[in-house]
Structure 1
Amino acid sequence: MKSSKILKAFFTPLLEVEYDKLETLRHQTILAPKTLYFDFTASGLAYKNIQKRIATILPYYANTHSHFAYNAHLMSDLYEQAKERIKQSLGLDEDFVLIAGGNGASFGIKKFQEIMGIYIPPKSLERLGIRKEKIQKMPDVVITSYEHHSNEISYREGLCHVHKIKLNDKGLFDVNDLCYLLQQLKKPIASLSVASNVTGMLTPLDQCVPLLRQSQSVIALDMASSSAYLNVESHHFDAAFLAPHKLLGGIGSCGILAIRKALIDTHLPPSFGGGGVIEYANDHEHLYIKDCDSREEAGTPPIIGILYAALAYQLRDEVGLKWIRIREKILTQAFLYELSKIPAVSIYGNLEEERLGIVSFNVGSISPLDLCAILSHKFGIQTRAGCSCAGPYGHYLIAEGSENKKPMWLRVSIHYTHTIEDIEYFINSLKNAIQILRH
């Protein structure tokens, strides 16, 4: 009885509805005074009520994998319920399981590649004396031209042939090129970002998913940049890579792979034979559990990490996806309008198409690294400078210069908790920072 009360209390509403929603969200967000945070694409921020909720469960903390001791039983139940709640938040049906681990979407990508037989450690190839280019019958993998390094470079190193979908003359996903590739390939794996983490550009899933289904492709979606702001209907994909730490309140959460059970071959050993996935073992033989929900989570699972993730998605849902998208669109439009009026600013990506609130730009010959530092140290504004772990896309966006020179920009993340006043302060601070760096 006591455990059921604790379980119920843990997932009670986080958003105090009797107060103004925006004011409540801003008040509950943990951030140093006189600091403006425009770096949500890299990571979310902590949320007071979520931190308090986690604290309530810590006195009962224990490892999972047992239902005899009270604390272990409680944490096992909490862990499983957290997974179920995340599945509900994402609109996943019973065909899917969640595999938790690591710290972000890169975990999900690697685990997916292990399950699909693509990932192999370089040392294993060396030890076996195998050259990748000599291997026959490797699967084909289709990716977009705006992938994060984790969803591109990892496939280049894996046991597969990588095919990149081109961008059209407007800098958008080229559906015609996808059609061409699918005519050449047999049942490829499509591993596509839902949204670019550089420009916020959205992949036209309504156009490409039917084509991929027709070609009997396995569809995996990288939702690292998108799941804080929108859902994708589960019939559009077979696997998804999630980074709950990018949600408000999600810091401390784990990475997640959502994957259809049909893709997990239980006739084979799991990708790692560790604690928790062994049914029975003696000196001569061992048997693995068949449960798809658990057999790829060897060892101690990320118990607190999955609780953070579940609460972050719960908070997102309480705020409301419609409310989030409306605010994000309004604030992003206002930001782009003011930013475009600043002389010598180059904003990357197609500005006419629907996008998330991710804006990357340069200002003339000013180093984005210097600009990031000035904004932070003089004006208390946190942004991110560099290539956003998307070097190949960066070379497309910044056409001039050598391919050997790392592309860089300043990336700004517009969030639904921002206000017009925050946008105005950013623009004015940016103008002042530019003046400082030019003199």
Structure 2
Amino acid sequence: MEIKAKIGETTFTCRGDLETYFRPFREATIGTDFTFSTPFGEQKLIYADWTASGRLYRPIEEKIIEEIGPLVANTHTESNITSTKMTLAYQYAKEIIKHHVHAGKHDVIIMEGPGMTSAVNKLQRLLGLRVPERWKARLSLADDERPVIFVTHMEHHSNLLSWTETIGEVITIRPTANGDVDVDHLRELLETYAHRPLKIGAFTACSNVTGIQTPYHFLAKIMHEHGGICFIDFAASAPYIEINMHPADPLEKLDAIYFSPHKFLGGPGSAGVLIFDARLYQNRIPDHPGGGTVLWTDPWGNYKYIEDIETREDGGTPPFLQTIKAALAIRLKEKMGVERIQKREKELTSLLLSHLKQIPRVRVLEGHREDRLGIVSFIIEGMHYNLVVKMLNDRFGIQVRGGCSCAGPYGHYLLGIDKEQSETLMKQVEQGNLFVKPGWVRISLHPIMTNEEVYDIIRAIRHIVRYADTWKQEYMYDQTKNEFYHRGDDRYVRGFFAL
């Protein structure tokens, strides 16, 4: 909330309670007052790319350095102080994460790779749905034997292409006229594919392009009513919402979830999270056989794997430090409070949308939707998205992201690209003309941002629209990278070699 009063020729602004509440968290974030040089002088960095990655949080970094760092050692033993502390801290960190998402007694956690992409691919391998490419052509499955995977029209590539490369058949649920998931269509599809042996719903909880959320608990209920299972991708929304794998209605339970703690405040450098119902696990051999996965071995080729899933699927040196950091980032989220996070996000998003939609030549994707998390994507008519991003960086210090946000199919829907247009565009792209690749500029907000930063973003976009024809003359386009460079950039590179 913000109250403005004009006394004489001066306007006084009274900041709302939430901006004040989040100020200490903002002040503890590394880089808040960072400045950097551009061809147009020194710019103060305004970070508005939170959906891509979170930011480092000084108290977490200091805790890792001062308290955890001196005790860092490999796990797998409790015979010395360092290994004991790391083993216990690793286990406790996983319990913190499970508790945060309301995991149940049958749910197991596996920390995998740097984020959600690694986690969902791990899940697919554990379910036996991935076959090595060289052998896939030899695998003969009748259509009726293939698993079927239902996805929404809003998926990003990691929750779409990874399923496309399984032995299953991927079916997209159509959108409603308002851009939501058509739950009636899902019911129709489940009836059509009722004979399939395995029916999976792999749904995003929130679009990483528009911030629009899906009714994922209701989708889970529909899947379970038709004998299916439901997996939810929380990559875009996990830092901002409550996650509940087991709500009051047992039919709404989530059979697996995956997300990227690196997107949390304090989370960069953490590991991807996969939590799933252990009853889905039917494997005799772990995904990564190796140290820490066996109970015993002998010289004659005999061995026995550990029964505990979390242990046997954690071969080699586990990501103990990455997991500890993920747990600390989650604790920070809990300290900020989900209710306050959501209220502040709504304030900032409403402020941004109300002004952005009034700027000439600016089109906000799904601009009619106010009910979203703090993710807003837009295009400026007649301007390449990456040129807009470059100008925002160079002239105003604003960090946003251009492109398709790794959500090509959703982009087709948002931009109204039909199949014929798509084929024409893709042919040009394959021939090296990356300029025609569809895309947009994405702004993603965080509760620690100030109202003034949002106003700075709005003013910057207004200036770019106004002076675009003049300013664009200062940039060169690299077709091989689909990026723009200021014509004076090479001077800074040459300076590296001056002795």
Q: How much does 1:364 deviate? A: 0.4
Q: 2:8 maps to what in 1?
A: none
Alpha-carbon distance in structure 1 between the residues aligned to 2:104 and 2:139: 40
Query: Where in structure 2 are there 5+ consecutive unaligned residues?
Result: 1-18, 36-43, 247-252, 426-436, 471-499
Is residue 271 of structure 1 aligned with residue 302 of structure 2? no
Alignment of 1:396-415 (within 5 A): 396-400=413-417, 402-404=421-423, 405=425, 406-415=437-446
Q: 2:82 maps to what in 1?
A: 71
Task: Give the TM-score taking structure 2 as reference length.
Answer: 0.81
Provide, for residues 6-45 of structure 1, a one-character-per-residue CA deviation record: whole Å limited to 9, x for no partner: xxxxxxxxxxxxx953221111111123110000000000
Is residue 161 of structure 1 aligned with residue 169 of structure 2? yes
Is residue 216 of structure 1 aligned with residue 216 of structure 2? no
Q: How much does 1:430 deviate? A: 1.1
Per the alignment, do residues 136 and 213 of structure 1 end up closer, same or farther by CA in structure 2, a change over 3 Å counting?
closer
Alpha-carbon distance in structure 1 between the residues aligned to 2:238 and 2:140: 34
Q: 2:456 maps to what in 1?
A: 425
Aligned length: 417
Alpha-carbon distance in structure 1 between the residues aligned to 2:58 and 2:69: 16
Alignment of 1:308-387 (within 5 A): 308-349=325-366, 351-352=368-369, 354-387=371-404
Structure 1 range deviating more: 369-378 or 208-217: 208-217
Per the alignment, do residues 287 and 270 of structure 1 end up closer, same or farther by CA in structure 2, a change over 3 Å counting?
same
Alpha-carbon distance in structure 2 between the residues aligned to 1:197 and 1:133: 34
Structure 1 range deviating more: 92-101 or 380-389: 92-101
Provide, for residues 66-85 of structure 1, a one-character-per-residue CA deviation record: whole Å limited to 9, x for no partner: 11122111100000000001
Alpha-carbon distance in structure 1 between the residues aligned to 2:174 and 2:422: 18
Provide, for residues 240-269 of structure 1, a one-character-per-residue CA deviation record: whole Å limited to 9, x for no partner: 011000000001000110111111225x21
Secondary structure of 1:63's match? coil
Kept after mapping to 1: 8 A contact 2:201/2:220: no
Provide, for residues 139-158 of structure 1, a one-character-per-residue CA deviation record: whole Å limited to 9, x for no partner: 11111111110111111111
Paired AA for residue 22 in structure 2: L
Q: How much does 1:216 deviate? A: 2.1
Per the alignment, do residues 238 and 367 of structure 1 end up closer, same or farther by CA in structure 2, a change over 3 Å counting?
same
Kept after mapping to 2: 8 A contact 1:362/1:409: yes
Query: Where in structure 1 are there 5+ consecutive unaligned residues?
Result: 1-18
Secondary structure of 1:58's match? helix
Secondary structure of 1:49's match? helix
Paired AA for residue 361 in structure 1: F
Q: CA RMSD in A?
A: 1.7
Among 292, 296, 300, the alignment partner of 2:313 is 296
Kept after mapping to 2: 8 A contact 1:198/1:360: yes
Kept after mapping to 2: 8 A contact 1:118/1:159: yes
Per the alignment, do residues 169 and 20 of structure 1 end up closer, same or farther by CA in structure 2, a change over 3 Å counting?
closer
Kept after mapping to 2: 8 A contact 1:193/1:203: yes
Alpha-carbon distance in structure 1 between the residues aligned to 2:281 and 2:264: 28
Is residue 36 of structure 1 aligned with residue 56 of structure 2? no
Secondary structure of 1:293's match? helix
Q: 1:436 maps to what in 2?
A: 467
Provide, for residues 105-153 of structure 1, a one-character-per-residue CA deviation record: whole Å limited to 9, x for no partner: 001101110111112231343xxx5167767612111111111101111
Alpha-carbon distance in structure 2 between the residues aligned to 1:184 and 1:400: 28
Q: 1:115 maps to what in 2?
A: 126
Secondary structure of 1:234's match? coil
Q: How much does 1:427 deviate? A: 0.4
Paired AA for residue 29 in structure 1: T
Alpha-carbon distance in structure 2 between the residues aligned to 1:207 and 1:103: 29
Per the alignment, do residues 396 and 332 of structure 1 end up closer, same or farther by CA in structure 2, a change over 3 Å counting?
same
Kept after mapping to 2: 8 A contact 1:36/1:380: yes
Kept after mapping to 2: 8 A contact 1:371/1:434: no
Q: How much does 1:294 deviate? A: 1.5
Alpha-carbon distance in structure 2 between the residues aligned to 1:20 and 1:197: 28
Q: 2:159 maps to what in 1?
A: 151
Alpha-carbon distance in structure 2 between the residues aligned to 1:307 and 1:382: 28
Per the alignment, do residues 210 and 28 of structure 1 end up closer, same or farther by CA in structure 2, a change over 3 Å counting?
same
Secondary structure of 1:366's match? coil
Secondary structure of 1:361's match? strand
Percent sequence identity over matched residues? 34
Paired AA for residue 71 in structure 1: T
Q: Which structure 1 residue ranges, 4+ long, deviate > 4 Å from structure 2?
A: 131-136
Paired AA for residue 392 in structure 1: P
Paired AA for residue 26 in structure 1: R
Q: How much does 1:207 deviate? A: 3.0
Alpha-carbon distance in structure 1 between the residues aligned to 2:140 and 2:241: 38
Paired AA for residue 221 in structure 1: I
Structure 1 range deviating more: 422-431 or 25-34: 25-34
Q: 1:3 maps to what in 2?
A: none
Secondary structure of 2:308's match? coil
Kept after mapping to 1: 8 A contact 2:157/2:408: yes
Kept after mapping to 2: 8 A contact 1:188/1:218: yes
Alpha-carbon distance in structure 2 between the residues aligned to 1:180 and 1:220: 19
Paired AA for residue 403 in structure 1: S
Paired AA for residue 141 in structure 1: I
Per the alignment, do residues 245 and 369 of structure 1 end up closer, same or farther by CA in structure 2, a change over 3 Å counting?
same
